[in-house]
């Protein structure tokens, strides 16, 4: 039961943090194309890892979020009824880059296989 509650809380926090970043934060270091890809809340609800995907300068965006951590946490407390508001830990989510890299590797192997097949057919003639 706690696991289901934890996943529901993570989803709700992801939605709320995304909304706060999009509408409330006015820091110029914050990239326009910043999205919250996932939130993992610990079992004791003390910490929440917030995974951020950024198109642009990742370091300055993470710095801006780090400096606004108290404000974001206070807003979470206003919008979600919780006894304990988790401490936020912002981390860069590089799963999109890893996916693009894996896709390029797969495409490279497919192209090599196709060129090998063409060479084999020309050798048969």
Per-residue pLDDT of 27-76, as tens digits, reads: 888 888 888 999 999 998 899 999 999 887 889 999 999 999 999 999 99
The confidence score (pLDDT) of residue 125 equals 58
The confidence score (pLDDT) of residue 123 equals 66
Q: What is the DSSP string of 15-73?
A: HHHHHHHHHT---TTS-SSEEEEEEEE-TTSSEEEEEEEESS-HHHHHHHHHHTHHHHH
Q: Does 89 lie in the same domain as 33? A: yes
Q: Does 108 lie in the same domain as 47? A: no
Domain count, the chain: 2
Q: Does 20 lie in the same domain as 45? A: yes
User: With contact defined as beta carbons under 8 Å apart, do 53 and 18 qualify?
Assistant: no
C-alpha angle 89-90-92 in degrees, rounded to nearest 5: 140
pTM recorded for the entire structure: 0.77
Q: Does 68 lie in the same domain as 100? A: no
Q: Does 125 lie in the same domain as 69? A: no
Q: Does 43 lie in the same domain as 28? A: yes
Q: Does 25 lie in the same domain as 48? A: yes
Structural domain for 104, as ranges: 94-125
Two tokens, residue 121: 């057919």
Q: Does 85 lie in the same domain as 43? A: yes
**Average of per-residue pLDDT across 89-106:** 87
Residue 101 pLDDT > 90: no
Per-chain mean pLDDT for the chain: 88
């Amino acid at each position: 039961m706690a696991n289901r509650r934890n996943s529901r809380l993570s989803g709700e926090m992801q939605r709320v943090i995304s909304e706060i970043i999009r509408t409330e934060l006015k820091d110029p270091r914050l990239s326009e194309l910043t999205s919250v890809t996932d939130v993992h809340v610990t079992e004791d609800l003390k910490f929440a890892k917030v995974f951020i995907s950024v198109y642009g300068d990742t370091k300055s965006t993470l710095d801006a979020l780090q400096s606004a951590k108290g404000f974001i946490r206070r807003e979470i407390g206003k919008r979600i009824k919780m006894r304990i508001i988790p401490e936020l830990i912002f981390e860069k989510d590089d799963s999109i880059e890893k996916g693009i890299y894996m896709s390029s590797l797969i495409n490279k192997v497919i192209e090599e296989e196709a060129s090998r097949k063409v060479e084999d057919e020309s050798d048969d003639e």
